[in-house]
Amino acid sequence: MPLGSRVWGFGKVLLLAGALAGTFFVFAGIAMRVAVRARQVTVPNFVGQPLNAASSLASTLDLKLRVDPVKRPDPKVPAGHVMMQEPTSGSAARRQRSVRVVLSAGAHVALAPNLLGETQRSAEIRVAQDGLAIGAVTEIRSALYPPDVVVAQDPPPSTQTAEIRLLVNRGEDRATYVMPDLIGLNGDRAAEVMRTRGFRVSVTAQLAASAIPPGVVVRQSPAGGYQVHPGDPIAIEVSR
């Protein structure tokens, strides 16, 4: 057989062997990926489930639960239920992998401290330090108590509880008036009326005005139409 023919035949054998080897590696890679994916599952959400239900769900997916020995208080998650997990739900995990879960000890119960007379901020700090929770905060407006202090609590001090509700005084609500137009009125009478409403009125100057009778308001501050509150200063100028 000529040498050229033998070389060409040997080359075809090499090409065929290379093609077969390439095909083998491609299919091997695909098979490996399929096998790896077949061994993976999506971690479900165990949070909020009781331990027995979480264990049953993990078993169906060929996962294992590793329960943290320390329970943590949580007023929103019942005692014995899962409050935290690692890895999180939706993660991909291999079968037989352990999922760490932390169980809730339920709401922390302790003696309610005496919060009467404290500011709301101070009361919230004390309650948090005792491991308790602040419930509803109701507001009143009264001149009998300082503003922003706790005037009542539920439950009362020294009561076993997990949550404390507060009644907080926001201070007396100030009345609002529209400043009247005093121009042209008798200054003394206008000042007297405004003072009876709680305003601080002063006559700052007297201006000479030949065409205006003496004692008549010719200027005022603030001007008519402005919003004013009792205790605000009002300045008027009268003619002489």
**Bridging pattern class, strands 133-140 and 92-94:** unpaired
> Are residues 125 and 163 located together in one domain of the fold?
yes
Which amino acid is residue 36, in one-letter code?
Answer: V
Q: Looking at residue 138, which CATH number applies to its domain?
A: 3.30.10.20
Domain residues for the domain of 197 are 177-239
Pick from 109, 116, 89: nearest CA to 101 = 89
> Are residues 23 and 67 located together in one domain of the fold?
no
- The predicted pLDDT at position 34 comes to 46
Rounded Cα–Cα distance for residues 191 and 194 (Å): 5
- The predicted pLDDT at position 16 comes to 60
> Are residues 161 and 198 located together in one domain of the fold?
no
Rounded Cα–Cα distance for residues 228 and 180 (Å): 10
Between 235 and 131, whose confidence is greater? 235
C-alpha dist (Å) from residue 172 to 46, 113, 139, 146, 175: 50, 27, 11, 9, 9
Rg of the chain over Cα atoms, rounded to whole angstroms, equals 42
Q: How confident is the model at residue 42 (pLDDT cuts 50, 70, 90)?
A: very high
Between 87 and 229, whose confidence is greater? 87
Q: How confident is the model at residue 13 (pLDDT cuts 50, 70, 90)?
A: low
Looking at the 3D structure of the chain, how many domains does it have? 4
**pTM of the complete model:** 0.41
- The predicted pLDDT at position 53 comes to 94
Rounded Cα–Cα distance for residues 183 and 135 (Å): 54
Helix (H) or strand (E) run with residue 206 in it: strand 200-207
> Are residues 213 and 164 located together in one domain of the fold?
no
Tens of pLDDT, residue by residue over 99-128, are 999 999 888 888 999 999 999 999 999 998
Q: How confident is the model at residue 36 (pLDDT cuts 50, 70, 90)?
A: very low
Of 145, 169, 193, the one marking the end of a domain is: 169
Q: Which of 25-29, 62-66, 155-159, 206-210 has the lowest mean pLDDT?
A: 25-29
> Are residues 32 and 49 located together in one domain of the fold?
no
- The predicted pLDDT at position 207 comes to 67
Helix (H) or strand (E) run with residue 22 in it: helix 3-38
- The predicted pLDDT at position 139 comes to 87
> What's the rounded mean pLDDT across residues 15-20?
61
Q: How confident is the model at residue 209 (pLDDT cuts 50, 70, 90)?
A: low
- The predicted pLDDT at position 140 comes to 87
Of 146, 169, 192, the one marking the end of a domain is: 169
Of 151, 169, 187, the one marking the end of a domain is: 169
